[in-house]
Amino acid sequence: MLVFVDANLVLFAVPKTGSTAYHLALRGQADISLANKAGLKHMTARKYDRDFGPYLARAHGLTPERVAVMRDPLEQLRSWYRYRQDPKRKGAGNSAAGLSFDAFVLAAIDEKPPQFARVGSQFAFVTDDAGRVRIDHLFAYEKQAVFRRFLEDRLGQKIDTKERNVSPPAPTPISPDVEARLRAARADDFALHDAILEADGHLVTVLD
């Protein structure tokens, strides 16, 4: 998570949406950088509302606009799967080595996912307990030019990013039945991502 005072922005880091590349490119310009601990870097909107947002307002008089990127939910799961298939992770408690992508998806949408499939939901990341979106500016991962242009306009600088945390290749075929079950289980994720695409890659919301 990065906070830019003059631009009045806070940049959230939804996992597996390319956030690391932007955080590495911009953390030198950020006034506040929470980048080293995963629990802080990937702070959810709910935790921000509960803890960090009130702190910024109380201690610094800041109420920055919130910015985040969302990816096609199926493609995000494919990225998680490839990451957890990495041979370097073999033997780790969250390794998915040896599992098919179908098995990984079914584990991820289980009511009690095993450790290797605890990847969360993008919809849950950007909403509150009532399912209300808590991000001012939501961008589609698939519309990088739109996201980059917004940041460059608000920060007043060109942004040069390099690919980071790229997962190794792995086959990710999905059966029609498993995809249907995923779409039913993550209907809110797919609907919100579709809404961002329908807004030309930049969905602006009005927060309370």
For the segment 9-39, what is each residue's pLDDT rounded down to a tens digit? 999 999 999 988 898 899 889 999 998 788 8
* Angle, vertex CA 196, rays to CA 46 and CA 167, nearest 5: 75
In the predicted model, is pLDDT for residue 2 greater than 70?
yes
Mind listing the pLDDT tens digit for each residue in 84-123? 887 665 556 788 888 999 999 999 999 999 999 999 999 9
Sheet holding 32-33, edge to edge: 32-33, 2-4, 9-11, 65-70, 137-140, 202-204
Least confident range from 59-63, 109-113, 152-156, 204-208: namely 204-208
pLDDT digits (tens, 9 = 90+) for 112-143: 999 999 999 999 999 999 999 999 999 999 99
The C-alpha atoms of residue 125 and residue 128 are separated, in whole angstroms, by 8
In the block, tokens 């003059």 appear at: 6
Domain 2-204 has CATH 1.20.144: no
Q: What is the DSSP letter of 35?
A: -
Query: Which tokens hold the place of 99?
Result: 């599992």
98: Cα separation from own chain's centroid: 26
Q: Is the pLDDT of residue 68 over 90?
A: yes
Tokens of 150: 């917004």
Residues 5/31, Cβ–Cβ less than 8 Å: yes
Token pair recorded at residue 170: 């792995």
Instruction: Name the band, by pLDDT with cuts 50, 70 and 90, for residue 165.
Output: low
User: 56 falls in which pLDDT band (50, 70, 90)?
Assistant: very high
Contacts of 199 (CB under 8 A, 6+ apart): none
pTM higher than 0.75 for the full model?
A: yes
